[in-house]
Amino acid sequence: MATRQTASLARLMRAPAIILLLIWMIVPLGMTLYYSFLNYNLLNPAGTSWAGWFNYRYFYTDPAFFDAIRNTLVLVLGVLVITVVGGIAIALLIDKPIWGQGIVRILIISPFFVMPPVAALIWKNMIMHPSYGVFADLAQVLGMQPVDWFAQFPLTSIIVIVAWQWLPFATLILLTSLQSLDGEQMEAAEMDGASALSRFIHLTLPHMARAITVVILIQTIFLLGIYAEILVTTNGGPGNASTNLTYLIYRAARLNFDIGGAAAGGIIAVILANLVAIFLMRAVGKNLD
Amino acid sequence: MGRITLENVTKRFGDVEVIPPLNLDINDGEFVVFVGPSGCGKSTLLRLIAGLEDTSGGRILIDGQDATSTPPAKRGLAMVFQSYALYPHMSVRKNIAFPMRMAGVPQDEQDRRIESAAKALNLTNYLDRKPGQLSGGQRQRVAIGRAIVREPSAFLFDEPLSNLDAALRVGMRLEISELHNRLETTMIYVTHDQVEAMTMADKIVVLQAGRIEQVGSPMELYRAPRNLFVAGFIGSPRMNLIDGPAAAEYDATTIGVRPEHIAVSGTEGKWKGRIGVSEHLGSDTFFYVEDTGLAETITVRAGGDIDLHHGDTVWLSPDIAQMHRFDANGDRIA
């Protein structure tokens, strides 16, 4: 009896927070959904009218649309691969006791503290610039033609910048997981005849599975919404080569002032995000139990 | 085969010498227990034998071969850790199979060895569970199973029972002894519990500060401790150590009398005292006798039906034939 009372009391106490969160989510979502069915352009707000599925059809038939979805997925996947693999590698390296460990760790974590537009501008003007960039200098030292990164490899360049920003996050989470690995287990495996590689595959990786899952899930949420890095570097170009869904929506809303079209894009982005979430939970979610 | 010889084995951590040059012979099939207080270097010594620590000097011979710089896996030894060190994401079967998988043992041979180990250790019904779903005693048995299937030349146990509750500890103690009788493989067992040492060992090695204080069979150590440290460490309850005039009477700096070698009487005897705490266990009674003028308390064992209680005045008479005498250096006077 007491437990049932506690349970209903707990529900009652939780309710305000949950209701607030629900409103917080449902109102913008509802408004977006509503706008997505309107002809609503800020250049002509008086001409607002019911549009039916027109905005969706318009978005769907936009040649940039499928490019944007593909770019979004490539961007998310590329950054995930680099950060998870790189994060594990760096975590393994800085887990070992070395001289100046504290400073090395701070240096490795610091990119996370640089805000995205700043980081992207630094990469654009100081590292990847075809004439002033460090990469160009390196190419010249080696006697090669400097690469114009944002013109030749726009999406790759953005993946590199975003991966640079998220690598510290992945490293940090994976490092804490690595540090909780029981030393005696490793010694037992050593005595059992497991080589360093088999110890990594059979012990370290399974132990880190949960942390890797957390990294993948959290990063995916943020990577689906990447926008600032694209805005300050390539502006989605050349053509649509580095336009992702978020940037396409921005273009509709802020360059064309097409609120209805942008809202339809937003709803499509929500659906895409949910598809990705379902896929991820199926693929790696069991590690969180 | 499992003959292990340590020749002048030394271990230093930086400037600290935790094990000064040490020599020890362990014969094939022997059950050897390293016993000593915490921090005496017994676990370090075991890890040196296992190869998990590098020696700072000296040689380790296994079956006559120099194994000082052989990697752990190649020494043919299996170790059971204090924390069991099971692989948490693998089932019991996979845990036990792991060393064989690493060694490339054929699948049907693996299955055969797993079956026989599981049967011997009562794990047959648990083979598909994860370690997290097992009790402490079962986990311990899985760890032993993982060691058995390697068919090692010697087993190394690092305080394997210290995470178990008292009742389970007694049970596992018997199981490990039984296992040793059946396999007749060399076993090296580290513990700080002298009861485990006395009950299980063929040979006890008493360590203090990295030095071997005495090596011998349990009864040798009990009957003729070589110095005060061993005298105080082996035997439960502890030996009574008495110095001053009472010891000088027997031409010694210190005399040691075990609680079971003191007769207690309510009427007459050599030393007079008053009973402090008395513990009636049924089969035995332990008296902690105060105000004797010999030592703070003298522990005495008496029969279960003795009718003496807290506050009674008693007389104690040591059994002189069973008395141990020590000189000013704490060494035994023969």
pLDDT, one tens digit per residue, over B69-114 is 888 888 888 999 988 889 988 999 999 999 998 888 899 989 999 9
For chain B, domains (ranges, CATH) are: 4-231 (3.40.50.300), 238-326 (2.40.50.140)
Average pLDDT over residues B141-166: 89
pLDDT grade for A20, boundaries at 50, 70 and 90: very high
Query: Which residue in chain B has the smallest CA separation from A190?
Result: B73
Question: Would you say residue B268 has pLDDT above 90?
Answer: no
CA-CA distances (angstroms) from residue A139 to A129, A164, B245? 12, 21, 92
Q: Which amino acid appears at position B227 of this protein?
A: N
Q: Beta strands B298-303 and B262-265: pairing type?
A: unpaired
pLDDT value of position A79: 95
Q: Among partner residues A191, A206, A207, which is closest to B50 by beta-carbon distance?
A: A191
Q: Among partner residues B50, B81, B102, which is closest to A194 by beta-carbon distance?
A: B102
Q: Could you tell me which residues come within 8 angstroms of residue A133 by beta carbon, excluding any fewer than 6 positions away? A: A125, A126, A127, A146, A149
Query: Which residue in chain A has the smallest CA separation from B49?
Result: A191
Q: Among partner residues B50, B82, B87, which is closest to A185 by beta-carbon distance?
A: B87
Q: Which residues in chain B touch residue A187, judged by CB atoms under 8 angstroms apart? A: 52, 72, 79, 81, 85
User: B164 to chain A nearest CA, in Å?
Assistant: 18
Question: Would you say residue A1 has pLDDT above 70?
Answer: no
- Provide the number of CB pairs (under 8 Å) joining chain A to chain B: 58
Q: Which residues in chain A touch residue B50, judged by CB atoms under 8 angstroms apart? A: 191
- B220 is written with which tokens? 């040798």
- Distance in angstroms (rounded) separating the CA atoms of residues A212 and A285: 11
Q: Decide: A58 and A261 in contact? Cβ < 8 Å.
A: yes
Query: Which residue in chain A has the smallest CA separation from B81?
Result: A184
Whether ipTM exceeds 0.85: no
Task: Locate all alpha helices (DSSP H) within chain A, ordered by sequence.
Answer: 2-35, 54-61, 63-95, 101-109, 116-122, 134-141, 149-152, 154-179, 183-191, 196-199, 205-223, 228-233, 245-250, 259-284
Q: Quick one: which H or E segment has residue B50?
A: helix B42-50
Q: Which residues in chain A touch residue B86, judged by CB atoms under 8 angstroms apart? A: 185
- Distance in angstroms (rounded) separating the CA atoms of residues A55 and A38: 8
Read off the pTM.
0.78
Average pLDDT over residues B7-27: 89
Asked whether the beta carbons of residue B85 and residue A209 sit closer than 8 angstroms, the reply is no
Partner A contacted by B72 (CB < 8 A): yes
Per-residue pLDDT of A270-286, as tens digits, reads 888 899 888 888 888 77
Per-residue pLDDT of A211-264, as tens digits, reads 999 899 889 889 988 888 888 888 877 888 888 888 888 888 777 788 888 888
Asked whether the beta carbons of residue A185 and residue B79 sit closer than 8 angstroms, the reply is no
Question: Would you say residue A27 has pLDDT above 90?
Answer: yes
pLDDT higher at B197 or A288? B197
pLDDT value of position A227: 87
Q: Quick one: which H or E segment has residue B117?
A: helix B107-120
Q: Which residues in chain A touch residue B82, judged by CB atoms under 8 angstroms apart? A: 184
pLDDT grade for A85, boundaries at 50, 70 and 90: very high
pLDDT grade for A64, boundaries at 50, 70 and 90: confident
pLDDT grade for A52, boundaries at 50, 70 and 90: confident
Task: Report the DSSP beta bridge partners of residue B216.
Answer: B204
Mean pLDDT of chain A: 87
pLDDT value of position B16: 87
Q: Among partner residues B78, B85, B150, which is closest to A185 by beta-carbon distance?
A: B85
Q: Which residues in chain B touch residue A185, judged by CB atoms under 8 angstroms apart? A: 85-87
Q: Mutate which of B70, B90, B102 to test chain A, going by most A C-beta atoms within 10 A?
A: B102
Asked whether the beta carbons of residue B83 and residue A184 sit closer than 8 angstroms, the reply is yes
Q: Decide: B54 and B216 in contact? Cβ < 8 Å.
A: no
Asked whether the beta carbons of residue B73 and residue A194 sit closer than 8 angstroms, the reply is yes
CA-CA distances (angstroms) from residue B171 to A86, B12, B167? 49, 37, 7
Q: Mutate which of A180, A182, A185, A191 to test chain B, going by most B C-beta atoms within 10 A?
A: A191
Neighbours of A255 (CB within 10 A): 10
pLDDT value of position B266: 85
For chain A, domains (ranges, CATH) are: 59-288 (1.10.3720.10)
- Distance in angstroms (rounded) separating the CA atoms of residues B18 and B58: 14
User: B89 to chain A nearest CA, in Å?
Assistant: 7
Q: Among partner residues B72, B83, B103, which is closest to A190 by beta-carbon distance?
A: B72
Question: Would you say residue A289 has pLDDT above 80?
Answer: no
Asked whether the beta carbons of residue A193 and residue B81 sit closer than 8 angstroms, the reply is no
Give the DSSP letter string of A172-193.
HHHHHHHHTS-HHHHHHHHHTT
User: B201 to chain A nearest CA, in Å?
Assistant: 24
Mean pLDDT of chain B: 89
- Distance in angstroms (rounded) separating the CA atoms of residues A3 and B15: 60
pLDDT value of position A248: 85
Q: Among partner residues B50, B90, B99, which is closest to A193 by beta-carbon distance?
A: B99
Beta strands in B84-185 (DSSP E): 154-158
Question: Would you say residue A87 has pLDDT above 90?
Answer: yes
pLDDT more than 90, % of chain A: 20
Asked whether the beta carbons of residue B102 and residue A193 sit closer than 8 angstroms, the reply is yes
Question: Would you say residue A162 has pLDDT above 60?
Answer: yes
Partner A contacted by B86 (CB < 8 A): yes
pLDDT grade for A83, boundaries at 50, 70 and 90: very high
Q: Which residues in chain B touch residue A209, judged by CB atoms under 8 angstroms apart? A: 89
Asked whether the beta carbons of residue B102 and residue A198 sit closer than 8 angstroms, the reply is yes
Q: Mutate which of B47, B52, B130, B155 to test chain A, going by most A C-beta atoms within 10 A?
A: B52
Asked whether the beta carbons of residue B82 and residue A184 sit closer than 8 angstroms, the reply is yes
Per-residue pLDDT of A29-42, as tens digits, reads 999 898 888 888 77
Question: Would you say residue B217 has pLDDT above 90?
Answer: yes
Q: Beta strands B154-158 and B77-80: pairing type?
A: parallel
pLDDT grade for A53, boundaries at 50, 70 and 90: confident
pLDDT grade for B156, boundaries at 50, 70 and 90: very high
